[in-house]
């Protein structure tokens, strides 16, 4: 392990453009369960696909019921040592932006500017109308919910309002995908942190970076499908590995 951490330190020191690609594993230390670990969110609930959300009132109601049930968890979450280490490298000018599959807003909370967090799967800390795209705040959704016990519709166009996340079957956000590709193609080190690397197309960015000449480091406490491709695999706890970069 020590040699892995030393290699990581050298690779970070030598790289001039580092792009992190993060998954739910960077936020478990913040108290947000990931999807696929034992006790993760999928052991409790199957995801609601986008088509079902669009088609059925009961699916929309269930989606919002689950979201509000998670509110104490999301509301209390603070950036982990992993988030803070990346924010330190960002402030130092080594990281131009972070690519994330996470929807928890914790990279922003750790000090990344909004425009430098490339959210591949959206954000669950606010909502959008699925018709006109207008942003709605969760407080407003909650107030509607408490009044009617149903998911609300948009005040402008009457279409359903959904968390601003990308569900299975929902089109990927085009601008984020494009920026992610540019960043992956133009970095010299990609750090894949806390992702099982099984959700596509997002999981294609570490490979794209590697194919474009970058080094690839995977930090995850379980094996991933891309371990074979990586220049360095550190199979250990993210906070323990990245904490020392910010002195804890
Ligand atoms: P995932 O659950 O598939 O994989 C997370 C990986 O991180 C697992 O392999 C797990 O072993 C590892 N891990 C967990 N804690 C760790 C730690 N402390 N140190 C090292 N490794 C650790 O998550 P994913 O790859 O991000 O993909 C699933 C989808 O889950 C994404 O689309 C994302 O939108 C969604 N999701 C997001 C959040 C969040 O925003 N925090 C939480 C759950 C799910």
Query: CB under 6 Å to ligand 1: residues?
Result: 23-25, 27-29, 32, 34-37, 40-41, 101-104, 121, 194-196, 199, 220-222, 237-239
- Residue pLDDT, tens place only, 130-156: 999 999 999 999 999 999 989 999 999
| Catalytic member of 83, 107, 121, 136 | 121
Full strand arrangement of the beta sheet holding 135-136: 135-136, 122-129, 161-165
Q: Residue 89: name the closest of 180, 176, 186, 191 by CA.
A: 191
- Residue pLDDT, tens place only, 179-229: 999 999 999 999 999 999 999 999 999 999 999 999 999 999 999 999 999
Q: Is the pTM of this model over 0.90?
A: yes
Full strand arrangement of the beta sheet holding 117-119: 117-119, 98-100, 18-22, 189-193, 215-219, 232-234
ipTM score for this prediction: 0.93
Quick check: is 121 catalytic? yes
Kindly list the distances between the CA atom of residue 80 and the CA atoms of 39, 132, 151, 165, 248, in Å, as whole numbers in the listed order: 19, 35, 32, 21, 11
- Residue pLDDT, tens place only, 20-52: 999 999 999 999 998 776 665 655 678 999 999
Give the span between the Cα atoms of 42 and 232, in whole angstroms. 29
pLDDT value, residue 222:
96
Degrees (nearest 5) of the Cα angle 201, 217, 197? 30
pLDDT value, residue 138:
96
């Amino acid at each position: 392990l020590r040699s892995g951490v030393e290699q990581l330190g050298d690779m970070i020191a030598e790289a001039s453009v580092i792009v992190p690609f993060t998954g739910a594993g960077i936020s478990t230390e913040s108290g947000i369960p990931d999807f696929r670990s034992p006790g993760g969110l999928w052991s409790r609930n199957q995801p609601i696909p986008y088509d079902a959300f669009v088609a059925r009132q009961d699916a929309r109601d269930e989606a919002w019921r689950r979201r509000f049930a998670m509110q104490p968890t999301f509301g209390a979450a603070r950036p982990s040592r992993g988030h803070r280490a990346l924010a330190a490298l960002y402030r130092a000018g080594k990281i131009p932006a972070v690519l994330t599959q996470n929807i928890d807003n914790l990279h922003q909370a750790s000090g990344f500017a909004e425009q430098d967090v490339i959210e591949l799967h959206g954000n669950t800390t606010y909502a959008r109308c699925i018709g006109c795209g207008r942003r709605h705040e969760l407080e407003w959704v909650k107030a509607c919910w408490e009044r009617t016990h149903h998911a609300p519709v948009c005040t402008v166009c009457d279409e359903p309002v959904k968390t601003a996340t990308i569900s299975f079957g929902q089109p990927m956000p085009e601008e984020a995908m494009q920026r992610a590709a540019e960043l992956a193609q133009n970095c010299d080190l990609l750090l894949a942190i806390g992702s099982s690397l099984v959700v596509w197309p997002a999981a294609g960015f570490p490979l794209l970076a590697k194919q474009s000449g970058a080094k690839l480091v995977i930090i995850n406490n379980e094996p991933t499908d891309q371990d074979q491709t990586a220049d360095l695999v550190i199979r250990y706890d993210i906070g323990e590995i990245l904490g020392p970069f910010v002195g804890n």
